[in-house]
Structure 1
Amino acid sequence: MLRWLWLALAIWGAIHPMAYFIAWFQANGWSLMAMVEAWHANDATSGLVWDLTIAAIALTLWVLIETAQTRAWARLLAIPATFCIGVSCGLPLYLFLRSNPGGSRD
């Protein structure tokens, strides 16, 4: 049951933030650099960006270290999910993949 909760959170973590990103791009143009600039509009947003960046790096290290130990290669999918979508998708996706009932290998 918990495994499916992780998957539901990963899906929500992909869809919900992406809706805001798409709305922003539609209103402001499709410039990634303009979005990065907007993320640093003030100290509050810069703090949030750094908070998520550090969390993404920590998650990536965790995924790499555990994957090297377990050889469960499918778990590496959490890394592009984290950096292309966000920690809100990458972390629950990793927990879903990690809770594979078939054992440690994917």
Structure 2
Amino acid sequence: MKYLRYLFLALAIWGSIHPMFYFMRWILANDWDWGGMIDAWYVNDSATGLTWDLTISAIALTLWILIDSARRRDALGLVCIPLTFGIGLSCGLPLYIFLRSRPSKAA
């Protein structure tokens, strides 16, 4: 289980770097035009479907984090919510699984 846990950490790191590479290329090429980026998310039905798929998945993850963190009384996982919406689901989800799978402090 230990190695699987670190696989999720590696996915979180990859999920934060790889998508940001493309976002930053687009932002720099388009003079920080955030409105244009958002417009690009809805440029056709395929992009719109993917945008909604990721949005709904991010909302589901957020609800899971909120409920699970309250139930477990472990606020550390809450850091994954802004990372999910600021970087992406590819960072927030594997990071939350990594954090949630850490060994219990109970004896």
TM-score, normalized by the shorter chain, greater than 0.5: yes
CA distance in 1, matches of 2:36, 2:16: 21
Q: Of 71, 88, 96, which residue of structure 2 is paired with 1:86?
A: 88
Q: Of 88, 99, 105, which residue of structure 1 is paired with 2:101?
A: 99
Q: Of 14, 21, 42, which residue of structure 2 is paired with 1:12?
A: 14
**How many correspondences in the alignment?**
104
| Structure 1 residue ranges (4+ consecutive) displaced by more than 2 angstroms after TM superposition | none
Shift of 1:102: 3.4
Q: TM-score, normalised by structure 1?
A: 0.94
**1:56-78 alpha-carbon deviations (Å, 9 max, x no partner):** 00000000000010111100011
CA distance in 2, matches of 1:29, 1:35: 11
Where in structure 1 are there 5+ consecutive unaligned residues? none
Q: CA RMSD in A?
A: 1.1
| Alignment-derived partner of residue 59 in structure 1 | 61
Where in structure 2 are there 5+ consecutive unaligned residues? none
Which residues in structure 2 correspond to 1:65-84 (within 5 Å)?
65-84=67-86
**1:31-68 alpha-carbon deviations (Å, 9 max, x no partner):** 21110011111110000000000000000000000001
Q: TM-score, normalised by structure 2?
A: 0.93
